[in-house]
A and B are shown apart, each in its own frame.
Chain A
Amino acid sequence: NAGVMQNPRHLVRRRGQEARLRCSPMKGHSHVYWYRQLPEEGLKFMVYLQKENIIDESGMPKERFSAEFPKEGPSILRIQQVVRGDSAAYFCASSPGGGSYNEQFFGPGTRLTVL
């Protein structure tokens, strides 16, 4: 059973470009979570999605960031008009369900560098 897959592993963008980060959850998992890790910091929650639904986006910046988890295919975290402050590692995690506790399995992360 393959783990959580994220691609690309490294992404370089110039200021003003768009970044699209993809996350394929573990087989059988229908819940996806995105976290951001700025340099020298811990991971910070961004958004929680189920298939075709955003459940909790309380950690998402109000502008330029969006996330989706379509019925078919990976979850996408999209950052429009990137700025240098968006440079970070973006982690995806998946779980089989939500509720009180369902173990979240983390992917290897995508390191975004904005030039």
Chain B
Amino acid sequence: AQTVTQSQPEMSVQEAETVTLSCTYDTSESDYYLFWYKQPPSRQMILVIRQEAYKQQNATENRFSVNFQKAAKSFSLKISDSQLGDAAMYFCALYNFNKFYFGSGTKLNVKP
């Protein structure tokens, strides 16, 4: 069974500061991918960042980076220089066998 756990239902960060969202997962597969998606109030799912499990190097996309700890099955998202537009629900997801397994989400608030 594949499971994804996000233990922080809600977090807040001051504009321009850095915040880290946590995610742990469980899978017995060796070939999988990990993702962070952003869901603003419009509900559109927006891909933030992707990590291939076979790559040791942590993925980075501009202000977004991940800390991928494969042995610990941990996949956290760091957002640097937070902006008001970053406020949204963030979902961690595991991809395997043609389907996504999503966590329950973390609501990120950004304070001006």
> Which residues on A are within 8 Å of B, measured CB to CB?
31, 33, 35, 37, 40-45, 48, 55-56, 59, 89, 91, 98-101, 103-104, 106, 108-109, 111
Q: Which residues of B contact A43 (CB under 8 A)?
A: 45, 91, 100, 102
Enumerate 12 A-B pairs (CB-CB under 8 Å) in ascending A order. A33-B98, A41-B104, A48-B99, A55-B98, A56-B97, A56-B99, A89-B43, A98-B98, A99-B98, A101-B52, A109-B43, A109-B44
Contact at A111–B43, with CB atoms within 8 Å?
Answer: yes
Q: Report Cα–Cα, A96/B43, bound state, in Å.
A: 23
Count of chain B residues near A, Cβ 8 A? 21
- The reply to whether the CB of B64 lies closer than 8 angstroms to some CB of chain A is no
- The reply to whether the CB of B42 lies closer than 8 angstroms to some CB of chain A is yes
Q: Report Cα–Cα, A6/B91, bound state, in Å.
A: 21
Contact at A104–B43, with CB atoms within 8 Å?
Answer: no
Kindly identify, within residues 35 to 58 of chain B, every residue whose CB is under 8 Å from any CB belonging to chain A: 42-45, 47, 52
> Which residues on B are within 8 Å of A, measured CB to CB?
4, 31, 33, 42-45, 47, 52, 91, 93, 95, 97-105
Contact at B100–A35, with CB atoms within 8 Å?
Answer: yes
B59 to chain A, nearest CB (A): 14
Interchain CB contact (< 8 A) of A42 among B44, B52, B91, B99: B91
Q: A33-B98, A41-B105 are in contact. List 8 more A-B contacts (CB 8 A).
A: A37-B43, A41-B104, A42-B93, A43-B45, A56-B99, A89-B43, A109-B43, A109-B45
Contact A108:B91 (CB < 8 A) given known A44-B102, A45-B99, A48-B99: no
Contact at B99–A106, with CB atoms within 8 Å?
Answer: no
